[in-house]
Amino acid sequence: MAEPDLWSETAMVIIYDMTNTLNMDINAITETIDVDMGDKDGESIPTIKGSRLWKRSSEADTMITFEGYPISIGDAGSITPTGLIQFFEGGTDASQSLEATSSTTRTKFRVTMMWTDDPGALNARDQVASGKYALRYDFQNCYFISCKPSYTDKVLKATWKFGCPAFTKAGAANITGQSVDGSASMPSVPVVATKTLTSDAVIA
């Protein structure tokens, strides 16, 4: 199959609740994806010779923002939640009627998104078969930092934002990029429920 000219129209997104070990597809309620990769910034320092030295700054946090259409607060036991407010509040309600209250709970998530022409890949973490193309981004140890409903345009919409530091406390990578050009298969992204402080193998 020929290489795609671009990725358009559809994407797969899955968020993994690292506390409750639950994978959740949010494709059906998501309209837009915006990944603000953390800058590797710095500034020049002038010397008395008139030259410049480059002083590096630490890599900034990456912000992942989704816009979508919730119709509930989200079932904490569902693999296809119809809303995310409950996850923002750290709720655990999985029985109707659902309820989530404001809380100091801060749950970690793993956010994965993928574009592919492989019909056999059913979610963003699936393996991509040889002969197919794909591009995937995987962000570990993210915090759900913003959940803002809006009814401004007479339709209920929400903006969800996740923050991801580039590295763990141990210095392991949190951000992984993967792609394949049809000449090989691309492995699935493993999920290890207890692995919250380290990263899986990085392919950059």
- Identify whether 53 is part of a domain: no
- Residue 130: give the domain boundaries: 12-38+58-181
What local confidence, expressed as pLDDT, does residue 40 receive?
95
- Identify whether 45 is part of a domain: no
What local confidence, expressed as pLDDT, does residue 190 receive?
83
What local confidence, expressed as pLDDT, does residue 192 receive?
59
Amino acid at 93: D
- Identify whether 159 is part of a domain: yes
- Identify whether 200 is part of a domain: no
Which pTM was predicted? Answer: 0.88
Q: With DSSP H G I counted as helix, E B as strand and the rest as coil, what are the percentages for the chain, rounded to 5?
A: 5, 40, 55
- Identify whether 204 is part of a domain: no
* Nearest Cα to Cα of residue 103 among 87, 79, 125: 87
SS3 34: strand
- Identify whether 120 is part of a domain: yes
Inform me whether the pLDDT recorded for 182 exceeds 80. Answer: yes
Mean local confidence (pLDDT), 130-147:
96
Distance, CA of 71 to CA of 5 (rounded, Å) = 35
Mean local confidence (pLDDT), 173-190:
94
Distance, CA of 72 to CA of 148 (rounded, Å) = 14
- Identify whether 190 is part of a domain: no
- Identify whether 2 is part of a domain: no
Q: What's the angle, vertex CA 149, arms to CA 144 and CA 152, rounded to 5?
A: 150
Mean local confidence (pLDDT), 139-150:
96
Inform me whether the pLDDT recorded for 28 exceeds 70. Answer: yes
Mind listing the pLDDT tens digit for each residue in 85-123? 999 999 999 999 999 999 999 999 999 999 999 999 999
Our count of domains for the chain comes to 1
Contact 23, 31 (CB under 8 A): no
Distance, CA of 179 to CA of 195 (rounded, Å) = 23
What average pLDDT is seen over the chain? 91
**Residues contacting 122, CB < 8 A, separation 6+:** none
Inform me whether the pLDDT recorded for 76 exceeds 80. Answer: yes
SS3 85: helix
What sign does the CA torsion over 122, 125, 131, 132 have?
A: positive
What local confidence, expressed as pLDDT, does residue 165 receive?
97
What local confidence, expressed as pLDDT, does residue 203 receive?
31
- What's the pLDDT band for 191 if we cut at 50, 70, 90? confident
Mean local confidence (pLDDT), 176-204:
68
29: domain CATH number? 2.30.110
